[in-house]
């Protein structure tokens, strides 16, 4: 299943690249951990240690700047993806037994529970808080013959430490917390502790407090000492 899943994931990314929309998109969520293998070359990093779900989440940081019109449901149709509408508001999900593709945008202002329409791509997206934190510091990893944008692992991990405390599901919260700790440890092993501190120092104080609280909950004294 793992091989099939990663092959399908690469096929999707390949199609986005060919259609010219991959540069407008940032891959976020648990699948980042799989693509961080490239970044952590030479340091002990086991992406298998973290649980990857079928959710393949894409962040569209600036929907208004999308220049090409590409109908994503049509683009993925022959791979077997079908469109499903989540909840009463009708958030679009693209379903396949191996992967579930969803799109997210950063929430602005007071926020809304309605989907954010992106007609150029034939989809709508869920607006969520704190996503700017993932798009301000990104890296590019090589996938096949193209490059994929993902959040910097430090931002990814610290973001997970903020959001795990907002989760209503205990299991999801524990999963987010575990993946954050794994990635932070891998960064420390890669001698990038200073970078974690730099990212941490650059974020608003209320967010910093949330991260500290998250680390305390997780009992991570080593990382706490680093940020203190």
Partner 1 sequence: MGVIKGVLKEELGNSRRMLKRYRQEIAKIKGVLVRKKIGNKYYYYIAKRQGRRVKFIYQGAASPAIKKSYLARKKQLHQYKKLLLQVKGQIKFLGKALRGKETI
CB of 80 to partner 1, least distance (A): 5
**Which span sits near partner 1 by CB under 8 A: 17-25, 46-54, 68-76, 121-129?**
46-54
87 contacts partner 1 (rule: CB under 8 A): no
Binding to partner 1 by residue 96, rule CB under 8 A?
yes
- How many CA atoms are closer than 13 Å to the CA of 153, on its beta-carbon side? 26
178: contact with partner 1 by CB under 8 A: yes
Q: Which residue has the tokens 């104080």?
A: 205
Our finding on whether 11 is near partner 1 (CB under 8 A) is no
Q: How far is the CB of 52 from partner 1 (least distance, A)?
A: 9
- In the list 129, 172, 198, 216, the residue contacting partner 1 (rule: CB under 8 A) is 172
The residue from 97, 111, 119, 202 that contacts partner 1 (CB under 8 A) is 97
Check residue 175 for interaction with partner 1 (CB under 8 A): yes
147 binds partner 1 (CB under 8 A): no
Residues 6+ apart with CB under 8 A from 98: 1, 4, 5, 8, 54
Q: Using CB under 8 A, which of the segments 17-25, 72-80, 102-110, 189-197 binds partner 1? A: 72-80
78 binds partner 1 (CB under 8 A): yes
Tell me if 100 contacts partner 1 by CB under 8 A: yes
Let me know: does 122 contact 105? Beta carbons within 8 Å.
Answer: no
Pick the closer one to partner 1 by CB: 21 or 101.
Answer: 101
* Contact call for residue 185 and partner 1 (CB under 8 A): no
Which residues make up the interface to partner 1 (CB under 8 A)?
51, 53-54, 77-78, 80, 82, 84, 95-97, 100, 169-172, 174-175, 178
């Amino acid at each position: 299943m793992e091989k099939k899943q990663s092959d399908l994931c690469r096929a999707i990314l390949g199609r986005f690249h060919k259609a010219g929309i991959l540069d407008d998109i940032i891959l976020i969520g648990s699948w980042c951990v799989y693509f961080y293998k490239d970044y952590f070359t030479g340091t002990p990093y086991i992406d298998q240690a973290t649980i990857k779900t079928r959710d393949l989440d894409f962040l569209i940081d600036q929907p208004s700047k999308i220049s090409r019109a590409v109908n994503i449901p049509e683009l993925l149709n022959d791979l077997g993806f079908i469109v499903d509408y989540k909840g009463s508001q009708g958030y679009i999900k693209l379903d396949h037994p191996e992967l579930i593709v969803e799109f997210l945008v950063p929430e602005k202002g007071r926020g809304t529970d309605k989907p954010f329409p992106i007609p150029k791509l034939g989809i709508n997206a869920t607006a969520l808080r704190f996503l700017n934190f993932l798009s301000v510091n990104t890296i590019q990893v090589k996938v096949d013959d193209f490059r994929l944008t993902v959040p910097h692992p430090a931002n990814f991990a610290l973001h997970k430490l903020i959001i795990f405390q907002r989760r209503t599901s205990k299991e999801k919260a524990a999963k987010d917390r575990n993946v954050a700790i794994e990635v932070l440890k891998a960064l420390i092993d890669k001698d990038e502790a200073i970078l974690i501190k730099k990212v941490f120092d650059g974020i608003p104080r209320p967010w910093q407090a949330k991260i500290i609280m998250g680390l305390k909950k997780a009992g991570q004294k080593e990382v706490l000492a680093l940020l203190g």
